[in-house]
Structure 1
Amino acid sequence: MSDDGSRAVSVIAFIGSVFSPWYRWSGRRDPENHVCINVATYGPGGRFTMTDRGRQALRKSRDSFRVGPSALHWQDGALVIDVNEISAPPVISRVRGQIRVKPVAMSSVEMLLTPDESHLWRPFAPNADIEVELEAPGWQWSGHGYFDANFGTRALEEDFAYWTWGRFPAAGGATCFYDATRLDGSTLAQAIHFDHDGGAHMVDPHPKTEFRRSLWAVKRETRADPGYRPRQVLPMLDAPFYCRAAVKTRLDGEETVGVHEALDLTRFRTRLIKPMLAVRVPRRAGWRFPD
């Protein structure tokens, strides 16, 4: 997110693109044949790109990950993301440039999201600096960000009905909230504070507080001081089953703006969603690197 709060960017690298209808229709048998670097920009002139590619478009090593014309690699302590994608309808255009994410410190935290370890969250760098240099007017800025990863051996909708996640700068670091309702009726409610030196400790979650639903009426809730009502301050991604936004809340008397996500997996399971997603997530199975 930019320092002035007016723009933001998200990048997700997938092996086995969990929200791709093509991966679901394939039976999810071959994750490396459904890879993607999803880049979305939020604010004036924002774009959304998410192209599902085949295994011939994948190259990876210890320090780099490349899918088609875009790539991530580590350089001088920073995660460098080279972007070269085409945005999805309704505005089709090239999204090209570079994003640098430099962790303030690395964390060793590993959180199980299900008791049988089928889903795992790794917040590698909950505190990071970010520099954005994209080839578009106004898309040269710096700000704060984070770097994390999710791993799973089953589809999300096989284990979860609903979840929310939030990362909020707070008290010399960042606090992350992970709340979920599993299909078996059990729940997850975790709150972790990360210091700038990489230290982490569990904190008592603040009260769960609902706030205004998304444009697609996805239920939204996060943690806040008693009596405080969180609110959206920058819209990001709004889909029938998912919402990402910059949200203002208050934690221990400190107002803070962070990134919040709400995911309704009951909706995601419905058959109607997959054809709708195919419009926004094109499949380019035949892409190959030039000789």
Structure 2
Amino acid sequence: MSEDGQHGITLIAFVGSVFSPYYAWARRRGRGDPDDHCALNVAIYSKGQGRWAMTERGRKHCARSASQFTVGPSQLDWDGQCLTIDINEVGVPLPRRIRGRIKLWPQQLFGYSTPLDEAGRHRWGPLAPSARIEVDLSAPDLKWQGHAYLDSNEGDEPVERGFHTWDWSRARMRDGSTVVFYDMQAPGQADRTLSLRFTPQGTVETIETPPVQTLSKTGWRIARRMRSKQPVQLHEQLEDTPFYQRALLKFDHAGEPLLAFHETLSVPRLVSPVVQAMLPWRMPRRA
């Protein structure tokens, strides 16, 4: 988010794109090579200049090492202090160019990783819960600075084998700490919840898990919820799709009014045949 709160951007670099219908079809044929299903998802949230791109690319268009990841004409590079992301993508459904450079400087690097499922086949952890970001785009013409968050997810199996639904949120506190709630649900099973605070000093603290606050359903009728002792207010709906939603929420935590990025994933919706048939319209592929 920009310092003035007027601009936002989300980027996700995929190896073995978890939402890819092409990867799912390849796995069913016994040819599920994750390096043949890479993508850089770019979502820009700026009034009048919003863009969204997620073109999947095959192995011959991609390369990765410990410090660099190339996905077609786009590239991510880590020099030990700064993550530089050079973007050259075409948006969908309107074919508008997204081009420019983003730089992210972690405030504190974390080596924290934790299993999300009982078998430990799915893991998550923030690399930089608090960071400084600089956005310099020529298409659209956007230049701003602000605060950012960087994390990592990895899995040894398809997401539908480990999860049913989850709600995830993160918020930046006044002292620079980042609060994260990871709330996972499955029919007939007890909720699995992570309630964590990542401090500027590099420590990870388990915090009290607040009660559930039920939110209004999305336009696509996705049920969602948030962990908070007080009622939660929808500030802005950023994404609303048949299986996934992203929003900004206002809530209170530890006596502070906070603004949280909040996401909900419905795995049954994701793997439904109807949604899988729709996804290529939003996720084109270059083999």
Return the alpha-carbon distance in structure 2 between the equivalents of residues 51 and 70 of structure 1. 11
Is the contact between residue 158 and residue 183 of structure 1 (CA under 8 Å) also seen in structure 2? no
Show the counterpart of 1:126.
Answer: 129
- Distance in 1 between residues matched to 2:145 and 2:217, nearest whole Å: 30
Contact (CA 8 Å) 2:217, 2:224: kept in 1 or not? yes
How far apart in 1 are the matches of 2:53 and 2:184?
27
RMSD (Å) for aligned C-alpha atoms: 1.5
Instruction: Say if 1:223 and 1:249, in contact at 8 Å, map to a contact too.
Output: no
Return the match for 2:215 from 194, 211, 214.
Answer: 211
Bigger drift between 132-141 and 3-12 goes to 132-141
2:252 maps to which residue? 250
Q: In structure 1, what is the equivalent of residue 206 of structure 2?
A: 202
For residues 15-34 of structure 1, what are the structure 2 equivalents within 5 Å? 15-27=15-27, 29-34=32-37
Counterpart pick for 1:166 among 158, 166, 169: 169
5 Å-filtered alignment, 1:1-291, equals: 1-27=1-27, 29-44=32-47, 45-75=49-79, 77-89=81-93, 91-136=94-139, 139-172=142-175, 173-182=177-186, 185-225=189-229, 228-285=230-287
What is the SS of the residue equivalent to 2:151?
strand
Distance 1:34 1:183 in 2: 31
Partner-residue secondary structure (3-state), 1:272: helix
Paired AA for residue 170 in structure 1: M
Percent of aligned pairs with the same residue?
A: 37
Alpha-carbon distance, 1:192 to partner: 0.5
Equivalenced residue count is: 282
Q: Deviations over 1:110-144 (max 9, x none)?
A: 11101211100021111111111111456211111
Report the TM-score, using the length of structure 2 for normalisation.
Answer: 0.94
2:99/2:140 contact within 8 Å kept: no
Q: Deviations over 1:184-237 (max 9, x none)?
A: 624211111011122111101112211222221211211212xx2212223222
Cα deviation, 1:150-171, whole Å, max 9, x if unaligned, reads 0001111122111011111125
Quick one: distance in 2 between partners of 1:188 and 1:256? Answer: 23
Say if 2:98 and 2:140, in contact at 8 Å, map to a contact too: no
Greater shift after overlay, 103-112 or 134-143?
Answer: 134-143
Query: 1:76: Cα distance to partner?
Result: 5.6
Shift of 1:183: 6.0
Letter in 2 for 1:96: R
Amino acid at match of 1:153: D
Quote the Cα distance in structure 2 between the aligned partners of 1:281 and 1:183: 30
* 1:212/1:231 contact within 8 Å kept: no
In the aligned structure 1, how far is the partner of 2:165 from the partner of 2:43? 23
One-letter amino acid of the structure 1 residue matched with residue 7 of structure 2: R
The structure whose RCO (Cα within 8 Å, separation 6+) is larger is 1
Q: Deviations over 1:234-254 (max 9, x none)?
A: 322211110011211110221
Shift of the 76–268 alpha-carbon distance from structure 1 to 2, 3 Å rule, reads closer
- How far residue 260 of structure 1 moved from its aligned partner, in angstroms, is 0.7
Q: Using the alignment, how far apart are the partners of 2:63 and 2:86 within structure 1? A: 14
**Whole-Å separation in 2 of the counterparts to 1:129 and 1:210:** 32
- Partner amino acid, structure 2, of 1:31: P
Structure 1 gaps of 5+ residues are 286-291
Residue identity in the other structure for 2:73:
P
CA distance in 1, matches of 2:20, 2:218: 22
